[in-house]
Amino acid sequence: MRFLETFFNGAVMAKYLPDLLSAIVTTLWLSAVILVLGLSLGLALACLRSLGRWYLTLPIVAFADIGRALPPLVVILICYFGLPGLGISLSGPMVLILVLAAVLAAFAEEIFWAGLTAVPKGQWEAGRATGLGFARTLFEIALPQAIRMGIPPLVNRALAITKMTALGSVIGVKEILSVSSSAQSFSGSATPLTMAALAYLAIFLPAVLLSRLLERRYSWAV
Amino acid sequence: MTAPAPVHQRPMLEINRLEKRFGETEVLKSIDLRVAPGELVFVIGPSGSGKSTMLRCCNRLEEPSSGTILLDGEHVTDCRGAALDRMRLKIGMVFQGFHLYPHKSVLGNVMLAQIRALKRPKAEAKARAMEMLEHVGLAHKADAMPAELSGGQQQRVAIARALALDPKVMLFDEPTSALDPELVGSVLKVMRQLRDEGMTMLVVSHEMGFAREAADRVVFMDGGVVVEAGPPGAIFGNPQSDRLKSFLARVSKAAE
């Protein structure tokens, strides 16, 4: 009974459910924006890197390495509390989106690039020998194969990054964790945190299952 | 048998003083070679003789260090960017490793460059692809994925993919070397059929039997130069140079 009282208190649940629902919506749209921005930026960077120009490769590699090395929380705090000193004031959600999208882009670039380098040279030669230009060969032949190879690590990375929306709680973004942890301090009950955990499961478990479908759809025998 | 090309006829493919260096290594030393329209020229030689490099220079997968290559009187070696892509449409190439696109069906493989490079309407490209697959005996595999095909079938699809672009010349880079022996015949059959239809072909291969029977001319390369060239009867029956004699001896020994 004590267990239920602590983690599944009905009265507390009822009280904070509306807040939590709107927090779920916030987490969902933040995640969606971060995924779209991060993955497309990562893909674009990998494509630019495939041109093999040092003045493109150098900054891209630097961006990817730094983005993967820094803890996102550090960057979030610097942007949120530091940038206003330069006269640049960004809202909490804006900082969260920009930083997490950039971090995702850094990882995604490396994953797409690894896929591109794993496409056999003969695939490029077959494309070019049939009169396809560099861009056509990249988009029609090399990228589909690179993306397919990258899907399992990309899915893992995408899940890890979207879960990091919880970092928004330190800069006042009204997402699931921040809403439930403030509910916890107001109510003195751990129940809102249980609700947060359940909300995360409700979002991410289907995402994990969906990713399995995706992996199967994009697989072909080699 | 097609008669040897008359001398006054413009060659379909013309290689003049072709040289290729990789750093300090001279792989091709002033190669001259002409392939008449409808002619099947067979290039033989030990590995490392430069024959594949020469073939790959013809569509600039390998960049020549110097020399010129002309296709039907047009410079291949001068082409840049989009002009080179257009030129490559006229030069079909078949690789040792097939290089079919694993993410596309057989039909998709044969249609891709027709649509994206040749800008054929989709329906027309599909009809042409089916026609070419029919030609290599694989129309019934149009919807299969490359991985579901045997090596011989994959290579025939690769031939159909090149033919669908209506090339003026076909380059074959050891087309049967990666195949199990029992699958070689099906690919050679398609090549013989092409030859009989009058396709101009430059073939690098170790299939001496096929060279003897189907080639109009055989070119023997060694050490980056053309050592000897002539009709198959003369090359195989009456080799002049010591290098060709010892090569043929080694090959026939290996075949025993």
Does A180 score more than 70 pLDDT? yes
Q: Which residue has the higher pLDDT, B92 or A6?
A: B92
Mean pLDDT on A130-155: 93
* Min distance B243 CA to chain A CA atoms (Å): 32
CA-wise closest residue to A175 among A4, A24, A21: A24
Does A5 score more than 90 pLDDT? no
Residue A129: which of B86, B93, B145 has the nearest Cβ?
B93
Q: How confident is the model at residue A88 (pLDDT cuts 50, 70, 90)?
A: confident
Mean pLDDT on B106-130: 96
Q: Which two structure tokens, joined as six digits, stand for B80?
A: 């840049």
Contact state of A120 with B145 under an 8 Å Cβ cutoff: no
3-state DSSP assignment of residue B50: coil
Contact state of B103 with A129 under an 8 Å Cβ cutoff: no
pLDDT reported for residue B256? 65
Q: How confident is the model at residue B1 (pLDDT cuts 50, 70, 90)?
A: very low
Residue A141: which of B89, B95, B101 has the nearest Cβ?
B101
Nearest chain B residue to A222 by CA distance is B147
The percentage of residues in chain B with a pLDDT greater than 90, rounded to a whole number, is 89
Does A65 score more than 50 pLDDT? yes
pLDDT in tens, B51-99: 999 999 999 999 999 999 999 999 999 999 999 999 999 999 999 999 9
Rounded to whole angstroms, how far apart are CA atoms A70 and B122?
49
Mean pLDDT on A8-35: 90
- Give the pTM: 0.87
Does A94 score more than 70 pLDDT? yes
Rounded to whole angstroms, how far apart are CA atoms B8 and A30?
73
Mean pLDDT on B193-202: 95
* Chain A residues touching residue B165 (CB < 8 angstroms): 130-131
pLDDT reported for residue A4? 83
The percentage of residues in chain A with a pLDDT greater than 90, rounded to a whole number, is 68
Instruction: Give me chain B's average pLDDT, please.
Output: 93
Q: Flag whether residue B80 sits within 8 Å of chain A, measured between CB atoms.
A: no
Q: How confident is the model at residue A220 (pLDDT cuts 50, 70, 90)?
A: low
Encode burial over B125-142: b for 16+ CB neighbours within 10 A, e otherwise. Answer: bbebbbebbebbebbebb
Q: What ipTM was estimated for this complex? A: 0.92
pLDDT reported for residue B48? 87
Using the Cα atoms of residue B156, residue B162, residue B163 and residue B167 in order, give the sign of their dihedral: negative
Q: Which residue has the higher pLDDT, A220 or A122?
A: A122
Q: Provide DSSP, B96-152.
A: TT----TTS-HHHHHHHHHHHTS---HHHHHHHHHHHHHHTT-GGGTTS-GGGS-HH
Per-residue CA distances from B189 to B139, B142, B183, B214 (Å): 16, 20, 11, 10
* Chain A residues touching residue B95 (CB < 8 angstroms): 122, 125-126
pLDDT in tens, B9-18: 789 999 999 9
* Chain A residues touching residue B169 (CB < 8 angstroms): none
Mean pLDDT on B101-125: 96
Contact state of A131 with B102 under an 8 Å Cβ cutoff: no
Instruction: Kindly give the interhelix angle for B181-196 and B151-163, rounded to the nearest 10 degrees.
Output: 20
Length of chain A: 222
Mean pLDDT on B164-186: 94
pLDDT reported for residue B221? 96
**Residue A219, H or E segment:** none
Neighbour-count burial of B152, counting CB atoms closer than 10 A to its CB (0-12 exposed, 13-18 middle, 19+ buried): buried
Q: Provide DSSP, A104-158.
A: HHHHHHHHHHHHHHHS-HHHHHHHHHTT--HHHIIIIIIHHHHHHHHHHHHHHHH
Does A151 score more than 90 pLDDT? no
Cβ A64 vs Cβ A110: under 8 Å: yes
pLDDT reported for residue B9? 78
Long-range contacts of B209-212, Cβ-Cβ distance < 8 Å, separation of 24 or more? B210/B42, B211/B42, B211/B44, B211/B236, B212/B236
Cβ A114 vs Cβ A107: under 8 Å: no
Encode burial over B105-119: b for 16+ CB neighbours within 10 A, e otherwise. Answer: bbbbbbbbbbbbbbe
Instruction: Give me chain A's average pLDDT, please.
Output: 91
pLDDT reported for residue B173? 96
